Amino acid sequence: MTSPVLHYVEREALVYRRLWKGVAFSHFVQPTLYLLAMGIGLGGMIEAAGNQVDGLSYLEFVAPGLMAATTLQSATGEAMWPILAGFKWMGFYHGMAASPMQPTDVYLGAIIWIGIRLTFTATVFLIVATVLGAVLSPWGVLAIPAAVLCALALAAPLAAFSATQETDHRFPLVLRFITLPMFLFSATFFPLSQLPAALQPIAWVLPLWHGVELCRDATTGTLGAAGWAGVVVHVAVLVAYVTAGSVWGMRAFTRRLTL
């Protein structure tokens, strides 16, 4: 007998069996557009002025940042509307709760499924970045787990938050006030040192900067100033987010499904 957690994945896989071709193609669109605009367009202008960023071309600098940031952006959507749909609009979580599946199985299944989807998103991004010459090292492959871990650091608590909501009214606020600022100010488009020193610690406590640094280490094949210790800290922070989010999520799902 398979683990009840995997029945969730089985359900999503059944739904996606018919949809995946269309979805797969659209996954290539976003990274291509972002990398063309930022890396080639904006980057070309920066390089024409004879500038580099931390010894990298702008494309090489921005590609890992965008990879972590767009994966996180996808995670935001995946951890809000589909979760509330499971409770409310489609209600299939209640069907699961009537079976031997526990609410914790439903939550963990949802997180695992988001992880599978994000792995696909990140892989496609890396392929496009490689084709455009933005990946300098074979270590770049490790940017995939780094981007997925970073995105789950947001998805795990966000899925818990979604389980406490009755409507989707607050979801756009999450995008506007959490995802977007992180997207812009986590060393994605420019080094953190460009920010006023007082603002830099904000990036340190949020997940995305850690993910960006890990992805950048991987695609450039060069560790940051802190060396391996930096990698350990980044991973530890992200794992802490996932763990704390999962504890909250298992509680929130249990509360919602066992009234």
Interface with other proteins by CB under 8 A: which residues? 1-2, 4, 7, 10-11, 14-15, 90-92, 94-102, 257-259
Nearer to other proteins, 15 or 23 (CB): 15
Query: Which amino acid appears at position 38 of this protein?
Result: M
Residue 96 or 134 with smaller CB distance to other proteins: 96
Q: Give min distance, CB of 93 to other proteins, in A.
A: 8
* CB-nearer residue toward other proteins: 14 or 173: 14
Q: In the beta sheet, which residues pair with residue 56?
A: 53
The least CB distance from residue 86 to other proteins, in Å, is 10
Least distance from other proteins to the Cβ atom of residue 173, Å = 27
- Residues 6 or more apart whose CB falls under 8 angstroms from that of 29 comprise none
Smallest CA-to-CA distance from 209 within 245, 42, 230, 162 is with 230
Q: What is the DSSP letter of 223?
A: -
Residue 254 and residue 237: Cα distance in Å, rounded? 26
C-alpha closest to that of 162 among 85, 92, 69, 217? 85
To other proteins, the closest distance from the beta carbon of 99 in angstroms equals: 4
CB neighbour class for 40 (10 Å; exposed up to 12, middle 13-18, buried from 19): middle
DSSP state of 53: B
From the number of C-beta atoms within 10 Å of its C-beta (0-12, 13-18, 19+), residue 36 rates as middle
Nearer to other proteins, 102 or 246 (CB): 102
Looking at the Cβ atoms of 47 and 168, the one nearer to other proteins is: 168
Q: Between residues 106 and 146, which has the closer beta carbon with respect to other proteins?
A: 106
CB of 103 to other proteins, least distance (A): 9
Considering the complex, what minimum distance in angstroms separates the CB of residue 9 from other proteins?
11
- Exposure of 127 by Cβ count < 10 A (0-12 exposed, 13-18 middle, 19+ buried)? middle
Give phi and psi for 196, each to the nearest 5.
-55, 140
